Chains A and B, each alone.
Chain A
Amino acid sequence: SQQGEEDPQALSIQEGENATMNCSYKTSINNLQWYRQNSGRGLVHLILIRSNEREKHSGRLRVTLDTSKKSSSLLITASRAADTASYFCATVLGGYQKVTFGTGTKLQVIP
Chain B
Amino acid sequence: EAGVAQSPRYKIIEKRQSVAFWCNPISGHATLYWYQQILGQGPKLLIQFQNNGVVDDSQLPKDRFSAERLKGVDSTLKIQPAKLEDSAVYLCASSWGRGAFFGQGTRLTVV
Q: Which A residues form the contact surface with B (CB < 8 A)? A: 1-2, 4, 33, 35, 40-45, 48, 88, 90, 96-104
Q: Are A100 and B100 interface neighbours, CB within 8 A?
A: no
Q: Are A42 and B48 interface neighbours, CB within 8 A?
A: no
* B33 interface hit (Cβ, 8 Å): yes
In the complex, identify which listed stretch (B68-76, B80-88, B90-98) lies at the interface while the others stay far away. Answer: B90-98
**What is the interface residue range for chain B against chain A?**
20 to 34
Q: Do most interface residues of chain A lie in helix, strand or loop, or is the interface mixed?
A: strand
> Which single residue of chain A is at the shortest CB-CB distance from B98?
A48
Within the complex, the shortest CB–CB distance from A108 to chain B, in Å, comes to 15
Tell me the complex Cα distance, A109–B41, Å. 20
Within the complex, the shortest CB–CB distance from B103 to chain A, in Å, comes to 6
Within the complex, the shortest CB–CB distance from A100 to chain B, in Å, comes to 6
Contact A102 to B100, CB < 8 A, known contacts A42-B91, A96-B48, A97-B95:
no
Tell me the complex Cα distance, A85–B4, Å. 21
* Other-chain contact of B99, A2, A45, A103 (Cβ < 8 Å): A45
* Other-chain contact of A43, B31, B59, B102, B107 (Cβ < 8 Å): B102
* B56 interface hit (Cβ, 8 Å): yes
Tell me the complex Cα distance, A96–B55, Å. 7
Q: Are A33 and B43 interface neighbours, CB within 8 A?
A: no
* Other-chain contact of B42, A33, A44, A104 (Cβ < 8 Å): A104
Query: Can you pick out 6 interface pairs between chain A and chain B where the beta carbons lie within 8 Å of each other?
Result: A40-B107, A41-B104, A42-B105, A98-B45, A99-B93, A101-B45
Tell me the complex Cα distance, A96–B100, Å. 13
> Which single residue of chain A is at the shortest CB-CB distance from B59?
A1
Question: B97 to chain A: which residues have CB within 8 Å?
Answer: 97
Q: Are B48 and A102 interface neighbours, CB within 8 A?
A: no
